[in-house]
Amino acid sequence: MIRIQGRPGAPGVAKGIAVVMQKKTTEYGRDRDSRSELQRFEDTLAICTKEMLTLQERLSETGEESEARIIKAYAMMLQDKTMTNPMKEAILGGKSAFEAVDAEVMAISDKLVAMDNAYMRERADDIRHVGSLLKNKLNGEEEIQLPQEPFVLVAEDLTPVDTLKLDRTYLAGLVTQMGGATSHTVILAKTMGIPAIIGIESVVEKILTGDNLLLDGSTGQIMIQPDDMALHIFEEQQWEAKKLQKKIKEKNLSIAATEDGYSIEVCCNIGSPEDMQLVKEKIYDGVGLFRTEFLYNAFQRYPTFDEQLKAYREVAAAAEGKPVIIRTLDIGGDKHLPYLELPKEENPFLGYRAVRISLSRREMFLEQLSAILAAGDNVRIMFPMITQVGELRDCKELLELAKERLREKGIPYNTSPKVGIMVETPACGIMTDRFAKLCDFMSIGTNDLTQYVTCADRNNPAVEELCTPYNPAMLRLLAQIANDCKKAGIPIGVCGELAGNMDYLPFLVGIGIDKLSVSPSSVDLVRFMVCSVKLSKMQMLARQVLELDDPREIKNILSQTWKDIIK
């Protein structure tokens, strides 16, 4: 048995036969004049575009809207003349179609990789994926032969097209050399509910087609030709997962309340109206976070009032009266909008982002606030990355101006929407008692808050161990925030990744968190966890770990609660 270590991509364990996808990286010989070569390129471009549009339509018909949006983006790139015209010029200049595509894709991706913005660096993957699509078609791509049993797809890099075109009936997991935590490979794996491991150097040389594999997407570990002991452990994990699903189905989850009667709202995080399809059959208490930056990313320009209003109303209607918290545009840091033309910054996470952008671009902000106000009476507004009380006052003043504009135009709107903020900076966390006087609710964004408290970039592998929510400073700050909100009489929620972390949930319950907002796929599990503990015991547990100073000891103690529940 051979063990190799990669980076966690998407959680879960899988067992399957390795299918190694090796793409052609060199061109087969050509003997054509430039005009013939240009025609071959244009024919290939048309075929690839048609394939993407057809695939997009198929995915939309099957309800896979997130995947359909990715493929739509690829189709748009193929139709983007700013990318394809330089390729055509290079062909007329004497290069082969393959060489022209390769050179232009490399030039564009190199520019993106050189940027400080993590989001733009990972968008270089998209450009390379589109380039691979064209080059493979120019070279005469071959259909990959898939086994009629569970298999793990292994490749240097996987494009969404690679995975979405496959018959995924037996697809058990994904393993790649390339790709980041927000790459489409990882996003698709999470959407499909299969494990993924990324960042394995020379992976197509280390794993051969036909190898038996075990992979754990949570730890990033792969076992090649696993021995009997490893197989036994895997079977136990699978059995435990099935046993847990049975327990969840048997539990009454109609009300998310602890065994001693403390109710906690369990809501879902979404990025588009289509995501509401994922919660249609679930018991949930509302939308705890609607990330509007995904809506802005769907356009090549600022979405209009009508375009935003349509999306917000769709979500409000789909929630059927349940509260919907819409977060205003949270762009910057590792999230980018090409048409926003943000300045290059040395440290974008500490720079011009989120509400700072909104307050400096008043008309854009007023347009969004107006659309949110007109979306429905069950809609609430949340401002991100607030660090000063003055910023919140400025936001509320613009909200009043947006109401005035709607009133003048005769557009119906919510006259008294509930207004809250994201608590995701230490400055805001320390001053929660002051902010509480101006808020109807607060929600803790634990992803950013953790990296700001620990001074460790969550996307940097060299310091990722330091960027831990188990740092005692993080626990103390969370407890203080919850306590300040309780004193002020306003609800406090968590909408970051910690809200769905089963090991951490006992602590959040123990400090008095009122609302947990998680991905749609985690709603049932979180409700089950809440219904399986006693508030009194979780309060004792919270007090215990708040006295500790070793993150590893804190994690071990908290994780034991979950282990006891699933026994």
Query: What are the C-alpha distances in Å from 137 to residues 29, 48, 95, 352?
Result: 15, 8, 17, 42
Q: Please provide the size of the chain in residues.
A: 567
Tokens at residue 311, please? 């999306």
Q: Are 7 and 219 within 8 A, CB to CB?
A: no
Tell me if residue 385 falls in helix, strand or coil. Answer: coil
Q: Is 184 a catalytic residue?
A: yes
Residues β-bridged to residue 36:
none
C-alpha of 334 from chain center: 12
Q: Sheet holding 212-216: strands in order across?
A: 2-5, 221-224, 212-216, 13-21, 151-155, 171-176, 196-198, 7-10
Half-sphere exposure of 358 (CA within 13 A, CB side): 26
Select which of 48, 184, 395, 428 is catalytic: 184
> Which residues, in sequence order, are CB contacts of 19 under 8 Å at separation 6+?
144, 145, 146, 147, 151, 152, 153, 154, 209
Residues 172 and 194 sit within 8 Å (Cβ to Cβ): yes
Active site residue 467: no
Give the closest residue to 329 by CA, choosing from 290, 275, 370. Answer: 290
Strands (E) in 113-220, as ranges, are: 151-155, 171-176, 196-198, 212-216
Which residue matches tokens 């709607």? 406
- Type of residue numbered 326: I
Give the active site residues. 184, 495
